[in-house]
Homo-oligomer: A and B are copies of this chain.
Amino acid sequence: MLMEQILTPDDAKNMLDDLSGAMWVAGEARTKALTGTVKKNLEILPGTDTVANDLLKVVTQKIMGNAAVSVHCIPFILHPPKFNKYMEGGEYQEHTDAPWMSNTRTDISCTIWLSEPDAYEGGVLKIGEQAFKGTPGQGIFYDCDVVHSVTPVTSGERVCVVSWIQSRIRDPRKRQLITDFRAWLAKMEGTEMFAEGDLIYSALLKRWID
């Protein structure tokens, strides 16, 4: 799991302001019909808002250009991100994400907070046993198949960007090993140990990427 500043706090807040005129519609739950999982939030439909479109292009660049995301997620395809909003009473009960969305195999789920944490009560992102409430511009990246939820918002408004990543390395255990290897190798930069290790690291990476 990775928690990382994707947008500056100011950029995040400005984004929030820029969305003031956008049209929000009810989000749709994949599994509700089958499992009764409640998803109650609002989304801006893709392509319906020019401002949102432009902002999402920026978000895409910020995610794909982030060094920590590159190391931990090894992104191959980024599903077009979208804004969502949980107002009072909004929630998304425990679920895992669909194995794929359009052409993206959803290996890693991403949430970037835009709202200040004290702008709403509740609305905590729970991932397995852990709970998260980020500050503006912070993003969290976690495996899509871990059960997660957004607890009910009891007051205020929680706006985030969400997206999904198809990683070059689908197996989380392989990806973790590659990330650990790279972090270790980075400590050797500038030493004579680096070059030999880089060949081994690259050979392993090459074996495991899609």
Chain A positions near chain B (C-beta within 8 angstroms): 31, 34-37, 96, 98-100, 105, 144-145, 147, 168, 172-174, 177, 180-181, 184, 187-189, 193-200, 202-207, 209-210
Contacts and interface: CB of A to CB of B under 8 A. Distances in A.
A133 to B, nearest CB: 21
A204 B188 contact: no
30 contacts: A31-B198, A34-B189, A34-B194, A35-B194, A35-B198, A36-B195, A96-B202, A96-B203, A99-B202, A99-B205, A99-B206, A99-B209, A100-B168, A100-B209, A105-B209, A145-B202, A145-B206, A147-B199, A172-B173, A177-B200, A177-B204, A177-B207, A180-B199, A180-B200, A184-B193, A184-B196, A184-B197, A184-B200, A193-B193, A204-B204
> Which label, helix, strand, loop or mixed, suits the secondary structure of the A interface?
helix
A35 to B, nearest CB: 5
Copies assembled: 6
Contacts of A207: 174, 177
Contacts of A99: 202, 205-206, 209
Contacts of A210: 105
Contacts of A36: 195
Contacts of A200: 177, 180-181, 184
Contacts of A96: 199, 202-203
Given A98-B202, A99-B209, A100-B209, 13 more contacts: A31-B198, A34-B194, A99-B205, A99-B206, A105-B209, A144-B206, A145-B203, A177-B200, A177-B207, A180-B196, A180-B203, A184-B193, A184-B197
